[in-house]
Amino acid sequence: MTAALAGCAGSDQQDEIDTLETQATTDAATIATLEGDLAAAQSTIADLEAGNQITQADVDAARQAGVDSVDITTDNADAAAAAVAAATKSTMDVILERGMLKCGVKESQYGMGYLDSATGVRSGLDISYCRALAAAIGLDPMTDIEFVPASSQDRFEKLASGEIDVLIRTTTWTTSRDADLNADFAGMNFFDGQGILIREDTYPQGLTQTATMLTSAKVCVGTGTTTEGNLADFDTSNSVGMDIIGVVDAAEGTAKLQSGECDAFTGDMSAMVAKKWALDNDGTVVDDNGDPVGLWIAPEILSKEPLGAATRDNDDDWNDVVAWVWYGMVTAEEYGITSANYMTMASDAAAEGGNPGHNRLMNTNLGLGTDANPLADTWMQAVMGAVGNYGEAYDDAFCDGTYDGSSGSDTMTGCLLDRAGTANALVSEGGLQFAPPMR
């Protein structure tokens, strides 16, 4: 009897051993799966820390990896938390670790984003905005920026991939771009509209008069732009019958306008005004005999083009900085704070009895920045020292550079594109440029 019981006991022990071995095999498979998930998460972390990409898909994948790990073993909790933290790391923190702001810009539009090939000097309202951002976050606005050329075709790809930190390139804020392209717009820094620049020899202004009379005209337009869709809508709705020709960029469109391959070129009105000025001055638009040809701009405004900066989705801290730097420049002009007087105004505001609104703008960070890298209290002073207020930046871009920053847009002189009486004047002057309260 004892022997029989001993045999049973041995059998039970063997069953338990077999069960444990089976469980160990299952656990080993689970561990292998977790190690694979962790390796994938670590790869994502490396890409994100390098600033290569920060998309919603990355956030979701990292977060799910973290959740799965915590569900099974506490040992992986730290790794999961690290994956989530890396995926949600603000672009601003990445920029400051890198020591360089990557700004996606245009290089061919005088007044907005222009690169002088002879001197290497960049100018324009968008360029000033990039410099203002760099100054606000504590970088050198002249040396700590990498200006990355962004075309109408690849600009959102460069933003989504992390090749650029912010897109400031005459980009129209639209529903589809905001919803579908992993882009989050940061206010409107310029209100534009679409115009058409026309050769006088093929469609004389005296006879043509309006864009609705451009029947059979070969009209160049940038592919992949809202401008392209607007032109097609205008052509169809007015039964014009244009011959619409797509071009890669403004340089190709200009070349075709100069050669006569296109009778007209369309784009933002700010670009058309600047282009007319440049071509009238260099005399490169000629007829078959080599004689100079005049240019004229159709009276129609084909669209509303609210232009703004864009950041990647799900990066609120950085988007807030991008937006409020611009709002700060507008607010400074409203207050009469300029590049010439900002130090005195900041000092006076900080003194007992000083203007509280001025003090908030010039001497507090207003909660902007990240937990790791809050903006300095003097961030707006840095912006003013770099580019001045909005009116001064506009003057440098489109006018003769003599505006004092506080006398009103109707005192600006030598402007290729007048500001007075347009949407880009301050609200106090009847325009649309305004900033939410900075408090």
**Closest by Cα among 139, 89, 153, 147 to 122:** 147
Give domain status of residue 289, yes or no.
yes
pLDDT confidence tier of residue 37, bands split at 50, 70 and 90: low
pLDDT confidence tier of residue 73, bands split at 50, 70 and 90: very low
Question: Which of 71-75, 104-108, 185-189, 411-415 has the weakest average pLDDT?
Answer: 71-75
Give domain status of residue 8, yes or no.
no
Give domain status of residue 438, yes or no.
no
pLDDT confidence tier of residue 2, bands split at 50, 70 and 90: very low
- What's the mean per-residue pLDDT of the chain? 86
Crossing angle for the helix pair 316-335 and 125-136, to the nearest 10 degrees: 110
Q: Is the pLDDT of residue 370 over 90?
A: yes
pLDDT confidence tier of residue 3, bands split at 50, 70 and 90: very low
* Mean pLDDT to the nearest integer, 185-201: 93
* Mean pLDDT to the nearest integer, 187-191: 91
Is residue 126 within 8 A of residue 106, CB to CB? The reply is yes
26 and 108 within one domain: no
333 and 423 within one domain: yes
69 and 28 within one domain: yes
Domain harbouring 113, CATH code: 3.40.190.10
Final residue in a domain of this structure, among 303, 322, 339? 303
Give the pLDDT confidence score for residue 41 in this predicted structure.
Answer: 56
- Token duo for residue 356: 């509280």
185 and 126 within one domain: yes
Give domain status of residue 437, yes or no.
no
Is residue 215 within 8 A of residue 273, CB to CB? The reply is no
Question: Which of 51-65, 198-212, 296-310 has the weakest average pLDDT?
Answer: 51-65
393 and 258 within one domain: no
Give the pLDDT confidence score for residue 290 in this predicted structure.
Answer: 87
Taking only the tens place, the pLDDT of each residue in 211-230 is: 999 999 999 999 988 899 99
Give the pLDDT confidence score for residue 180 in this predicted structure.
Answer: 84
Give the pLDDT confidence score for residue 214 in this predicted structure.
Answer: 95
223 and 145 within one domain: no
Give domain status of residue 5, yes or no.
no
Give the pLDDT confidence score for residue 376 in this predicted structure.
Answer: 98
Give the pLDDT confidence score for residue 349 in this predicted structure.
Answer: 97
Give domain status of residue 273, yes or no.
yes
* Mean pLDDT to the nearest integer, 372-385: 98
In the chain, % of residues over pLDDT 70: 80
Q: Is the pLDDT of residue 188 over 80?
A: yes
Question: Which of 3-12, 16-25, 377-386 has the weakest average pLDDT?
Answer: 3-12
What burial class does residue 185 get, using C-beta atoms within 10 Å of its C-beta: 0-12 exposed, 13-18 middle, 19+ buried?
buried
pLDDT confidence tier of residue 95, bands split at 50, 70 and 90: very high
Domain count, the chain: 3
Final residue in a domain of this structure, among 30, 61, 89? 89
Give the pLDDT confidence score for residue 52 in this predicted structure.
Answer: 53
292 and 198 within one domain: yes
* Mean pLDDT to the nearest integer, 370-375: 97
Final residue in a domain of this structure, among 269, 285, 303? 303
179 and 323 within one domain: yes
294 and 363 within one domain: no
Output 43 or 82, whichever has higher pLDDT: 43
* Mean pLDDT to the nearest integer, 411-436: 92
Is residue 145 within 8 A of residue 139, CB to CB? The reply is yes
Q: Which amino acid is at 23?
A: Q
Give domain status of residue 1, yes or no.
no
In the chain, % of residues over pLDDT 90: 64
425 and 312 within one domain: yes
- Whole-prediction pTM: 0.74
Give domain status of residue 157, yes or no.
yes
pLDDT confidence tier of residue 72, bands split at 50, 70 and 90: very low
Residues 6+ apart with CB under 8 A from 101: 95, 130, 133, 134, 137, 139, 144, 145, 146, 165, 166
Range of the domain at 46: 15-89
Give the pLDDT confidence score for residue 160 in this predicted structure.
Answer: 93
Taking only the tens place, the pLDDT of each residue in 294-320 is: 999 998 889 888 999 999 999 999 999
292 and 150 within one domain: no
138 and 68 within one domain: no
Q: Is the pLDDT of residue 181 over 90?
A: no
Report the alpha-carbon distance of residue 330 to residue 298 in Å, rounded: 31
